[in-house]
């Protein structure tokens, strides 16, 4: 089958059922400068791989930083919650003792038990507030990532004009 040079510049890609056409990628190395030494080829392959990984890291560094911030915030909240749990476990026997002696206590004794319970509820409220803020940050990150993904599809050259879209679909 005879293929024209223009059709060789494009390739069909299947990305989880999403099929699209893109230009073929070629290495811009002239055949005369390619090393014949296998060790040199391996060294150049590793260098290309390292450069590609550095480029990816640079591209995703902002997202990496956001996830690290989210992780450290979550870890700090986890530590704070664990400390409060230990404190509450230490105070629990005194609550039980207070409850068993509740009938015998005066009004001021009841007031101190209520104060302890109010402090406990306020601590739980602070934890819930922290978790809510963390959820808001995670949701904002997910929304930003979704918008970036949508924009990457909208920026494809196929969408430049309806005529070009129809032409590319007819060529496929």
pLDDT tens for the 172 residues of the chain, in order: 445 555 568 888 888 888 888 888 766 555 555 557 889 999 999 999 999 888 888 888 888 888 888 888 888 888 887 777 777 666 655 555 555 555 455 444 556 778 888 888 888 888 888 888 888 888 888 898 999 888 877 776 656 677 777 777 777 5
Which token pair is 134?
């963390």
Going from N- to C-terminal start, the domains of the chain cover: 61-161
CA distances from 84 to 95, 130, 134 (A): 15, 14, 19
Residue 93, pLDDT score? 57
Residue 44, pLDDT score? 92
**C-alpha span between 118 and 96 (Å, rounded):** 16
Listed residue (100, 126, 127, 128) closest to 113, CA to CA: 100
CA distances from 19 to 14, 15, 22, 164 (A): 4, 6, 10, 17
DSSP H or E segment with residue 19: strand 18-23
Residue 50, pLDDT score? 92
């Amino acid at each position: 089958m005879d293929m024209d040079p223009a059709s060789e510049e494009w390739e069909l890609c299947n990305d989880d059922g999403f099929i699209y056409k893109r230009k073929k990628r070629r290495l811009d190395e002239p055949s005369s400068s390619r090393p014949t030494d296998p060790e040199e080829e391996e060294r150049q392959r590793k260098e290309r791989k390292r450069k590609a990984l550095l480029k990816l890291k640079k591209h995703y560094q902002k997202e990496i930083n956001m996830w690290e911030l989210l992780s450290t915030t979550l870890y700090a909240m986890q530590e704070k919650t664990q400390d409060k749990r230990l404190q509450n476990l230490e105070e629990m026997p005194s609550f039980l003792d207070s409850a068993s002696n509740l009938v015998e206590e005066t009004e001021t004794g009841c007031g101190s038990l209520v104060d302890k319970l109010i402090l406990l509820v306020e601590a739980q409220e602070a934890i819930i507030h922290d978790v809510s803020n963390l959820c808001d940050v995670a949701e904002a990150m997910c929304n930003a990532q979704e918008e970036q993904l949508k924009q990457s599809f909208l920026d494809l050259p196929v969408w430049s004009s309806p005529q070009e879209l129809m032409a590319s679909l007819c060529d496929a």
